[in-house]
Structure 1
Amino acid sequence: MHLGIEGKKAIVCASSRGLGRGCAEALAEAGCEIVLNGRDEAVLAETKSAIETAYGVRVSTVAADVSTRDGQEALLEACPAPDILINNNGGPPRRDYSELDREAMLQGVIQNFVTPIELIQAVTPGMKERGFGRIVNITSLSVKMPIEGLDLSSGARAGLTAFLAGVSRQLAPHGITVNNLLPGKMDTDRLKGGFERTAKLAGKSVDAIRAEQAAEIPVRRFGNAAEFGQTCAFLCSTHAGYITGQNILMDGGLYPAAF
C-alpha cells in the first residue's frame, strides 16, 4: 500500500533496536526521513547504516536519553520540524510494587508519562502550522491487563493514555492524529528478560517458559518488530487521518475481550 508520506520527517524515540527500530524501518520504507535515537552509539550507527542501505532515505542519529531535557533538545535540534513523532522509551525494570521507593516511582513516571507529553508539547505547534501531524505512542498491553512486576510501567502508561485522550481531540481539527500502540508479548530483549526472571523463580528452563507463554497466545507465537512497525507506519499514513485517540492492541488475541 502506498502510504503517501514520502519526504515526511519522523523522530522515532528509542529506535536503535526492538520495536522502535521496527517503526523506523517501516517509516523509512514509506519514504520518510528518519531521526534515530538510542543510548548506544555503536548500535545506532549500525541501525543507521542498515536503514540507509535498505531504503535509500536520509537518516540521522541522536545518541541521548530521551527522558532528559538535553536529550529532547538534541532530538529537536536534529529535526526542528517533525511531521511524525513516535514516542517510545524503555520502561522501569520488573519489580514488585512493595520494592518501589519514591525515587524509582518518580523516574518511572518521567520515563513513560512526562517525557512523551513534553515531546508532544514541543512538536505540535509546528504540526498545527503545517496542518499535518502523526503521533504514535508505544505503550503496552499492561495498560489494559496486569502484568506481574510491571505495575509502575503500567500505571505511568495508563496515565499517559488518559492524559492524551482529551489532547487528541484538541489536536484533531489541525490535521494531527494521536494514537497508542499497545504491544503484547513481542519477541524483544525485554520479553527475554522476563523469561529469565520467570524461569529462575519457577525453577524451569528459559525454553520451557518461552514455550508455555507462546502457547497462551491464541496465534501461538510472539509478535515481531517488523509487523509492529508496519502497523505504526499505517497509523502515520495519509489513509489513517480519520483514526485518532485510539488504543490499538497488537497481542495476538491475548487480551480476552469483545471491546
Structure 2
Amino acid sequence: MDLGIKGRYAVVCASSQGLGRACATELARAGCVVVINGRDAEKLNAVAAELREQTGGQIIAIAGDVARPETQDALISAVPQVDILVNNNGGPPYRDFRQIDRAAMIDGVTNNMVTPIELVQRVIDGMVSRRFGRIVNITSASVKMPLSGLDLSSGARIGLTGFLAGVARSVAHANVTINFLLPGSFDTNRQLTGLAAKAEQQGVDIGVVRADSQARIPAKRFGSPPEFGAACAFLCSAQAGYITGQSLLIDGGAYPGVL
C-alpha cells in the first residue's frame, strides 16, 4: 500500500531504540525524510547508519534531550518543514507513588506532557498553512488502564491526551490530524526493565514473570516493534486524514473494555 507520504519531512522523537525507532523505520520505508533523535550521539549516529542501509531513506540524526529548547530548535530546523511529528519520550521509572517527590512529578509531567505540547506548538501553524500535517503521540495503554507503579506516567500522558483533544478538532479542517498510539506490552528495553523489577520484587526468575505476563494477554505474546511502527506510519499516511483525536490501543486484547 502506497501511504502517499513520499518526500514528506518527518521528525520522530526518542527514536534511537524501541517503538520510536520502529516508527522512524516505517516512515523511512514510506519515502519520508526522517529526523531521528536520542540523547546518546554515538548510538544515534550508528542507528542512523543502520536505518539508511535498511530503508535506503534519508535519515538525519539530531542528538539531545527533546525536553530542552535547544534540542527542539535543532529538530525543527533540520528540515525545511515538518509535515509529520511523532512525539515520544521515555517514561518515568516504575516506582511506588509514595516515593515520587515534587521534583520527580515536575520532571515526569515536563517530559511526557509539556514537551510534546511544545513541539506541537512549534509545527502546527505551518501544517495548517500547507494543508497537511500528521501528529502522532506515543503514550501508553496505561492511559486507558492505569497500572500501579506507573502512576506518574499515566497521569502525565492522560493530561497530554486531554490537552490535545480539543486542538485536534480545531485543525482538522486543514487536513491536520492529531492522534495517539497506546502501546501495551511490547518487546522493548522498557518492557524488560519492568519485568526485571517485578522479578526482583517477587524473588523469581525473569523468565517466570515474562511467561506469566504473556499468558495474561489474549494474544499470548508481547507485541513486536515493527507492527507498532506500521500502525504509526498508517496514521501518518495521506489516507488517514479522516482519523483525528483518537487513541489507538495496541495491546493484544489486554484491555477488557469496549471503549
Same fold (TM over 0.5): yes
Show CA shifts across 1:60-84 (max 9, x none).
1110000111111111121251100
Distance 1:94 1:133 in 2: 34
Root mean square deviation, CA, Å: 0.8
Aligned residues: 259
Counterpart for residue 8 of structure 1: 8
Percentage of matched positions with identical amino acids? 55
Counterpart for residue 76 of structure 1: 76
Counterpart for residue 167 of structure 1: 167
Q: Which amino acid aligns with 1:82?
A: V
Segment of structure 1 superposing worse, 200-209 or 37-46: 37-46
Q: Aligned ranges for residues 27-38 of structure 1 at < 5 Å?
A: 27-38=27-38
Counterpart for residue 255 of structure 2: 255
Distance 1:37 1:136 in 2: 16
| Secondary structure of the structure 2 residue equivalent to 1:163 | helix
Counterpart for residue 85 of structure 2: 85
Distance 1:206 1:79 in 2: 43
Which consecutive unaligned segments of at least 5 residues does structure 1 have?
none
TM-score, normalization by structure 1? 0.98
Please state how far the C-alpha of 1:125 moved relative to its aligned partner. 1.1
Counterpart for residue 158 of structure 1: 158
Structure 1 stretches of 4+ with a deviation exceeding 2 A read none
Distance 1:154 1:121 in 2: 22
TM-score, normalization by structure 2? 0.98
Q: Which amino acid aligns with 2:103?
A: E
| Secondary structure of the structure 2 residue equivalent to 1:160 | helix
| Secondary structure of the structure 2 residue equivalent to 1:11 | strand
Q: Aligned ranges for residues 137-148 of structure 1 at < 5 Å?
A: 137-148=137-148
Q: Which amino acid aligns with 1:148?
A: S
Please state how far the C-alpha of 1:148 moved relative to its aligned partner. 2.0
Please state how far the C-alpha of 1:232 moved relative to its aligned partner. 0.2
Counterpart for residue 217 of structure 2: 217
Counterpart for residue 206 of structure 1: 206
| Secondary structure of the structure 2 residue equivalent to 1:134 | strand
Show CA shifts across 1:218-257 (max 9, x none).
0000011100000000000011010000000000000001
Which consecutive unaligned segments of at least 5 residues does structure 2 have?
none
| Secondary structure of the structure 2 residue equivalent to 1:31 | coil
